[in-house]
Amino acid sequence: MPTAPPVAAPAAADTPVDVIAITATIDRALSIGTVLPRHEAAEDLVTELSGHLRRLLAAVPHAGQARAATAAGQAAAGPGPGLQSATDRARLLALDCRWLLRHLGHEGRPAR
């Protein structure tokens, strides 16, 4: 049974948030349909989203405590043991990232 990857230290609050890259990753995760990606691709997506989520949590300290704690737990949990769990985790992380982007005032889209 795979173990969760080690949790990286939270990003500094002054670390710039790459809204375009985060939005592109969110779009990839939320566009997964009935045909699931390879397990390695789903794991990579979870890893990428977890990193985005940690940076966003550091950048949005005023986010709702309960939702932020849940998001941090999702980021630390890893992809899970199978393809479906990794895909589900990617979707949940994408939704948490989108929620945090909205707190930054980007509404899930790059600021213009």
Per-domain boundaries in the chain: 40-103
Amino acid at 85: S
Residue 90 scores a pLDDT above 80: yes
Higher pLDDT, 112 or 49: 49
When pLDDT is cut at 50, 70 and 90, the band that residue 72 belongs to is confident
pLDDT for residue 22 is more than 70: yes
Q: What are phi and psi of 73, to 5 degrees?
A: -65, -40
pLDDT at 15: 62
Q: What is the mean pLDDT of the chain?
A: 80
Torsion of CA 91, 93, 96, 100, to 10 degrees: -130
